[in-house]
Amino acid sequence: MSFRNLLLVSFLFIIAATGCRKERTTDSVCEILKQALINDDKGQARIAITAMIDKLPSKAYTAQALDMLSHAISGQCEMSTDLYCFNCIKTLPGQTEIEVSFISGGSVIHKTIDISYTSANEMIFANFH
């Protein structure tokens, strides 16, 4: 096999391996989020939500970016989401709640994820209940 062909095969292998890893990453983030919500594990929920925020085109704490986060959760993780109002939880700093629901073990799980913001106005996971 010539050097050029070996490079081409290596390049295609790397692209294929990276592409597969992305799908698994999304699936694993969703699985981490679901298990965190079921087990009331705020640390794991923070990891999953932060990973989803990091994949968004904008991390800014805006109504549009929160809508994108809500759609990402529902579209990628097969959860129903409702985003009722932007920055309507009067805490310091303010928060937005995203209600999520999904089926696990034959039961419907309902949780509310609280999203707040940093001093740089970037979204962060605050809590869930």
- Residue of 20 and 29 predicted with greater confidence: 29
Tell me the pLDDT of the chain averaged across its residues: 87
Enumerate the domain spans of the chain.
Answer: 3-128
Query: pLDDT tens, 63-77?
Result: 999 999 999 999 999
Verdict on whether the full-model pTM lies above 0.75: yes
Residue 14 has pLDDT above 90, yes or no: no
Residue 57 has pLDDT above 70, yes or no: yes
CA dihedral 47, 25, 60, 109 (to 10 degrees): -60
When pLDDT is cut at 50, 70 and 90, the band that residue 83 belongs to is: very high
CA-to-CA distance for 69 and 114, rounded, in angstroms? Answer: 12
Per-residue model confidence (pLDDT) at position 21: 42
Per-residue model confidence (pLDDT) at position 84: 83
